[in-house]
Amino acid sequence: MSFVFSEVPHTSIVRWQKVKDFLQSVDLEMSEDVEIFVVAKEDDRIVACGGLSGKVLKNIALDESLRGEGLALSLMSELLKVAFREGRHELFLFTKPDYQEVFESCGFKYIEQAHHQVILMENSYNIDLYKKRLRKYKHTGDVVGSIVMNCNPFTLGHRFLVEQACERSHWVHLFVVKEDASFFTFKDRYRLICEGLVDLENLTIHEGSDYIISKATFPTYFIKDKRQIDSLYTELDLNIFRNHLAPQLGITHRFVGEEPLCAVTNEYNQQMKKLLARPSEAPPIEVVELGRIEYGGEPISASRVRKLMQHNRLEEILPLVPPTTYALIATMMSKEEAK
Amino acid sequence: MSKKLETAHAGTLESSDAFVRVIPVDAKGIEIELESSVEEIYGDAIRARVLETATAMSVEGVKIIVQDKGALDYVIKARVQTAILRALGEAEPDWSVL
Amino acid sequence: MKPKLRRSMLFVPGSNTGMVCNAFIYKPDTVMFDLEDSVALSEKDSARMMVFHALQHFTYKDIETAVRVNPLDTPFGLLDLEAVIRAGVDIVRLPKTDTVEDVLDMEREIERIEIKIGSPKKTMLLAAIESALGVVNAVDIARSSTRMMGIALGAEDFVRDLHTQRTKEGHELMAARNQILLAARAAKIGAFDSIFSDVKDKEGFMHEVDLIKGLGFDGKSLINPNQIPWLHSAFAPSQKNINWAIEVLEAAKDAKERGLGVISLDGKMVDAPVILRAEWIMDLARASGVLGEEQ
């Protein structure tokens, strides 16, 4: 059997729809963030496809009748070729545990799983390199804290949280979520965090990594029960943190902001407590919820700052953020006005 | 003097073929990573062949990742050579060393 | 010299590693590695390298090899030649041969490379005629080089050039087939027919083989190994032909042993071309498996 392979970029509307139809025929939704698809055709009919979204391969699907290793391997060869050409050499994919072996035969290695329903794989041994790098930052102590933050943008609320964590720990590791799906770019977010915390002495700020997965890249198309998406994502993220990252740094505690009002985040915090403490080969991590500081009767949060930006109320942002963040926002808003 | 390389690859994951990736690294020498279904029997022979092929092309400071799908000796050689030529950005190889 | 059997020329895309490694198993008369149309632009270099090594591998030592290279006016043509001549290919297949110039250009480059590397081999040429202009020039093309071992019809491009498409009956190819055959025979070289692309249609394939065999073609290009036994069985000589050939060769042997200058059979004189024809039939019979080795 010979298959013809071709690329379908997001810009070709007619062919894009055909890919969508094919995915539907195998009971999958199309991931909205795919930039380019590779499709295999037999007699002008799509029989397999796979998409590239940033560093993540998504929507890899084969026609039921042709599910043999031959087509899967040819498809993956083409998809990898396209990804490499686009300069994406370190690739990830999320899949069902059933397909672990198929992707292993394509050079992908298992990293972590969630609830026996989702696994994360990568095509390099970069997680080992990353772990090795992390070990250089290890500080021993009874309480080694950790915080994972997006800081979109960095506020006095964040600052308060980190201060509290530093007071209670020998050392604190702060991880900044890396991906660029936020309003503020990673570069800006990272810079504001560094500048806003420069006076804290028992703190390491980590540039984030591909191993702190962002919700934005977590695919949902193959998870049938949509109510499970959040918990599967959380579990995968926390399993990686606990089993791979935390042990390298001897982390004993994880600090989070208290969320009495937001049900989703509260749920997340409760799940985190449970998952990071349950029996495992890696040592347990205690989750500590810290109270939020308020200004004007309301907690200070990044979303509050973004809302004020939208309404052009620069003067009200001033008491919520450190001067460095304020300076950036002021510049951004004056540029916006100039337009 | 070893030549400047970019990341490159050649081959496919199909049966009888090999998928070869060449990645520049901050180290001397040639590092080889092999995955093969016949690793136990032919692993050393394949590694030796990859090393010999890369050495003949005077490259250094590279990691060569080979996913072997039951490829014949000359297929491995061809894939490694193509990947290295691509990594070097050279269209016309020195046939006498191949 | 008696001509080599070239009934089947199996096309093997240089980018299909499985086929490259295994084509010899099917025992076609000639393996034709393709670097041209079946290979995507992004894989021209990898296919060239693969074919370069395959040609030198022992599995292809006892089988005639040809390579369809890219035209010289592409960035790949010359690189292909450098690789395959060094690897010792038997035949270079020129794609899209329209004029004598196309042949001479290719011949010049081949000669240059052979001299450069000090090769004792004289690489043969096979011109693929794939356009109306090529068919019109077929007579000149066939006679343009001493390296030319045959001319072949490339029907897929040819019918496009004629503004038509291929049919089972093959009327659209009649003129081209006749012209190519006449040109080849006039130049005393081989004539080879185009591929038959529907690999599942055995009946249609056999119909076409009967037609081209009847016209006088030596053989045909094939794209699927399954077609090899079909083709070979169709090309097997009849028992009547075999019997005739045996008698001719016996008469020749007898005459030689008795020191006779003239060979005769059933009262008729047998000359050299007839003996060559008889030898060829016996070769064909042996290759077709209708004859034991001892005969």
pLDDT band at A67 (very low <50, low <70, confident <90, very high): confident
B21 touches chain C (CB under 8 A): no
For residue B1, what pLDDT is reported? 45
- Rg, Å, chain A Cα set: 22
Say yes or no for a CB contact (<8 Å) between C18 and B74: no
Give the distance from residue C115's alpha carbon to the nearest chain B alpha carbon, in angstroms: 15
Whether residue A119 is found in the same domain as residue A133: no
Q: Is A68 in contact with A44 (CB distance < 8 Å)?
A: no
CA A230 – CA A222 distance, rounded (Å): 14
Shortest CA distance to A120 belongs to which of A246, A186, A194, A217? A217
Q: In the listed set A124, A153, A181, which residue is the last one of a domain according to the structure?
A: A124
Chain C hits for B17, CB-CB cut-off 8 Å, are 17-18
Write the CB contacts of A304 (distance below 8 Å, at least 6 apart in sequence): A155, A298, A320
For residue A83, what pLDDT is reported? 95
**pLDDT tens by residue, A3-55:** 889 999 999 999 999 999 999 998 888 988 899 999 999 888 999 999 999 99
Q: Indicate the residue of B78, B86, B92 with minimum beta-carbon distance to C50.
A: B78
Question: Which subunits count as partners of chain B given 3+ CB pairs below 8 Å?
Answer: A, C
- For domain B8-90, give its CATH number from 3.60.15.10, 3.30.230.10, 3.30.70.600, 3.30.160.60: 3.30.230.10
Whether residue A275 is found in the same domain as residue A327: yes
Hey, what's the torsion of the CAs at C149, C154, C155, C159, to 10 degrees?
A: -120
**pLDDT tens by residue, A110-141:** 999 998 989 999 998 789 989 999 999 999 99
**What is chain C's mean pLDDT, rounded?**
93
C56 touches chain B (CB under 8 A): yes
Whether residue A81 is found in the same domain as residue A168: no
Chain A hits for B11, CB-CB cut-off 8 Å, are 77
pLDDT band at A69 (very low <50, low <70, confident <90, very high): low
Chain B hits for A105, CB-CB cut-off 8 Å, are 13
Q: Indicate the residue of A77, A81, A125 with minimum beta-carbon distance to B14.
A: A77
CATH, residue A113: 3.40.630.30
Chain B hits for C57, CB-CB cut-off 8 Å, are 72, 74
Whether residue A102 is found in the same domain as residue A133: no
Question: Could you tell me the maximum CA-CA distance found in chain A, to the nearest angstrom?
Answer: 70
Give strand pairing partners of C151: C127, C191
For residue A65, what pLDDT is reported? 85
Whether residue A108 is found in the same domain as residue A144: no
For residue C215, what pLDDT is reported? 95
For residue C33, what pLDDT is reported? 98
**pLDDT tens by residue, A208-224:** 888 888 777 788 888 87
CA C196 – CA C154 distance, rounded (Å): 11
Whether residue A177 is found in the same domain as residue A314: yes
**pLDDT tens by residue, A151-200:** 889 999 999 999 999 999 999 999 998 877 678 899 999 999 999 999 99
For residue A183, what pLDDT is reported? 84
For residue A57, what pLDDT is reported? 94
**pLDDT tens by residue, B15-64:** 999 999 999 998 889 999 999 888 889 999 999 999 999 999 999 999 99
Q: Is the confidence at residue A231, as pLDDT, over 60?
A: yes
Closest residue of chain B to C83, computed from CA coordinates: B95
For residue C52, what pLDDT is reported? 98
CA C91 – CA A172 distance, rounded (Å): 72
Q: Report residue C90 as tokens.
A: 């038997």
| CATH architecture for residues C8-235 | Alpha-Beta Barrel (3.20)
C2 touches chain B (CB under 8 A): no
- What does the pLDDT average to over A292-302? 89
**What is chain A's mean pLDDT, rounded?**
90
Say yes or no for a CB contact (<8 Å) between C17 and B95: no
Q: Which long-range contacts (CB under 8 A, 24 or more apart) does C55-61 make?
A: C55/C84, C55/C87, C55/C88, C55/C89, C56/B74, C56/C87, C56/C88, C57/B72, C57/B74, C59/C21, C59/C24, C60/C24, C60/C31
Whether residue A142 is found in the same domain as residue A30: no
Give the total residue count for chain C.
Answer: 295
Pairing of strands A92-95, A109-114: unpaired
Window C:106-145, CB contacts with B under 8 Å: none
Say yes or no for a CB contact (<8 Å) between B98 and C50: no
CA B10 – CA C65 distance, rounded (Å): 25
- What does the pLDDT average to over C243-265? 85
A105 touches chain B (CB under 8 A): yes
Q: In the listed set A97, A124, A151, which residue is the last one of a domain according to the structure?
A: A124
Return phi, psi of residue A109, to 5°: -120, 145
For residue A93, what pLDDT is reported? 94
Give the distance from residue B19's alpha carbon to the nearest chain A alpha carbon, in angstroms: 8
CA B17 – CA B77 distance, rounded (Å): 11
**pLDDT tens by residue, C2-18:** 568 999 999 999 999 99
Closest residue of chain A to B19, computed from CA coordinates: A77
> Three-state DSSP class for A106?
coil
Q: Indicate the residue of A77, A81, A107 with minimum beta-carbon distance to B35.
A: A107
Q: Indicate the residue of C18, C79, C83 with minimum beta-carbon distance to B16.
A: C18
Chain C hits for B11, CB-CB cut-off 8 Å, are 17, 46
Q: Is A127 in contact with A92 (CB distance < 8 Å)?
A: no
Give the distance from residue A84's alpha carbon to the nearest chain B alpha carbon, in angstroms: 8
**Could you give the residue range(s) of every CATH 3.20.20.60 domain in chain C?**
8-235
- The DSSP annotation for A33-76 comes to T--EEEEEEETTEEEEEEEEETTEEEEEEE-GGG-SHHHHHHHH
Q: How far is CA A1 from CA A74, A262, C17, C226, in A?
A: 12, 55, 15, 13
Domain membership of residue A236 as a residue range: 129-338
